[in-house]
Amino acid sequence: MPANGEFTPAQRHRVAHAVSRLETIETHQRALDAERVTVLADALDAVVSTSPGAGQELGYRALRLELAAALSRSESAVERLLDLASALTSHYTPTLREVEAGRISLDHARVITDAGTIFTTGDLPTDAARRGVYEAEVLVHARQETPTRLRPIARALAARYAEHTLEERHREAATRRCVRLRDLDAGMAELVAFLPTVEAHAIYDRVTRIARATIQEEAATHTAGTAGTAGTAGTAGTAGTAGKVGTGPGTEPALPHRSRDAVRADVLRDLLLTGTTDDVAAAGPNIHAKVQVIVPLSMLHPDTDPDPNDTGPGAGAGAKSPPSTEQNTGTGTTAPAPLESPAPTAPPPDTASPPDTASSPDTASPPGTAPPPAPATRFTELGRV
């Protein structure tokens, strides 16, 4: 490639040829993915539909084991494939046809079906109608977006057409809370907890604060120990030995350096296994978790129709509503505080201020009535722990 960063004519020809071949391969691969999904669904239907009662569960397990051996995959991975195949062939046939035509990938289809699990009210005709409208709109975005970018759009569209309130969605999601363990290499493992957003952030913040206090105390102890040994240095009779600090008998070796992430992990381990930490003072009542909850304005005003492409700055952490925020944080009240409202400015000296209508007799609030709320900003801080 030349120094200017542009391809030569020969390079452009080879790159264009490679891109064209990759597009053809990807189209064929998507068609094969659709065919595999169809075959999996057919095998599942053959087992489930012909096995009455308890035989369905035994037949399903046997099928899952056979497919895992044939595909060299784990049974859990095969189970996810069977679930996807069942959803696509039963409820999302237009999505399956899009995969077969090569316009979207199987990952797109998985995102669409995962978000569509919300359509389970028990009223089959209503669920089918809402699912169909959702699928038609989300496919428009699927043809243009990557699976990762499609996920928040699909969730927003599914929530809109399912007509579930924020509280209902949160309660349904909270029923799936769990703790998972996954073994890793080098004698390590990963412990993952699926919790409500506020509780998870509160736990993380508290562990972080304890870790910060532990690091500060260790640094203060190390500094005090260094100063104490430095005072005795050089008393052995020669000035040359003054530089040998902390080498005498009884001197405790320095603790290995730990990153904040490592200290945070150690704090969590100690709290769960022993109920305390090495630094008792740091785990005392002076450490409180702090959680700031930010929600879009549309959640405070249900009449506002949200844009599925605008997931808000807090989309990664999920949405919470004021009632459940108060319940999970343990606080009975919340004090809304605008985060993005401009600072008030005083009027120029030569401009007369408008009359104070709030204090006039015509507009004054009756006794015992709260004053009208301030104009809502785009995002509002609901509360903190």
φ, ψ of residue 119 to 5 degrees: the values are -85, 70
Alpha-carbon distance 272 to 263, whole Å? 14
Nearest-angstrom CA–CA distance, 333 and 322: 9
Asked if residue 219 belongs to a domain, the reply is no
pLDDT digits (tens, 9 = 90+) for 147-182: 999 999 999 999 888 877 778 778 888 999 999 999
Q: Read off the pLDDT band of 50 (50, 70, 90).
A: confident
pLDDT tens per residue across span 92-116:
999 999 999 999 999 999 999 999 9
How much is the pLDDT for 58?
87
The burial class, CB within 10 Å (0-12 / 13-18 / 19+), for 349 is: exposed
Instruction: Tell me if 296 is assigned to some domain.
Output: no
Note the pLDDT of residue 289: 54
Position 96 in a domain:
yes
Q: Is residue 89 a part of any domain in this protein?
A: yes
Which range of 9-13, 100-104, 122-126, 247-251 scores highest in mean pLDDT? It is: 100-104
Crossing angle of helices 260-274/197-232, nearest 10°? 110
- Give dist(CA 352, CA 348) in Å, integer: 8
Measured CA to CA, the distance from residue 196 to residue 170 in angstroms comes to 8
| Token pair in block for residue 32 | 């094969």
Instruction: Provide the mean pLDDT of the chain.
Output: 75
Give the range of the structural domain holding residue 109, as residue numbers without chain letter.
9-190
Q: Which residue has the tokens 């305390």?
A: 276
Would residue 218 count as lying in a domain? Answer: no
Q: What is the pLDDT of residues 8-46, one digit of tens each?
A: 889 999 999 999 999 999 999 999 999 999 999 999 999
Q: Who wins on pLDDT, 335 or 183? A: 183
Which pLDDT belongs to residue 56?
Answer: 82
Name which of 75-79, 201-205, 332-336, 375-379 the model is least confident about.
375-379
- Structural domain total, the chain: 1
Residue closest to 215 by CA, chosen among 251, 266, 252: 266
Return the sign of the alpha-carbon dihedral for residues 202, 168, 136, 132: positive
Q: Is residue 39 part of a domain?
A: yes
Which residue(s) pair with 228 in the sheet? none
Average pLDDT of the residues in 212-230? 76
State pLDDT tens for residues 55-90: 788 889 999 999 999 999 999 999 999 999 999 999
Handedness of CA 357, 363, 369, 375 (dihedral sign): negative
Give tens-digit pLDDT for 269-314. Answer: 989 988 876 544 444 444 555 666 666 666 566 555 555 555 544 4
Q: Does residue 152 form part of some domain?
A: yes
Contact 325, 293 (CB under 8 A): yes
β-sheet bridge partners, residue 181:
191
pLDDT over 70 percentage in the chain: 61
Residue 202 inside a domain? The answer is no
R_g of the chain, CA atoms, integer Å = 31
55-59, 263-267, 371-375, 379-383: range with highest mean pLDDT:
263-267
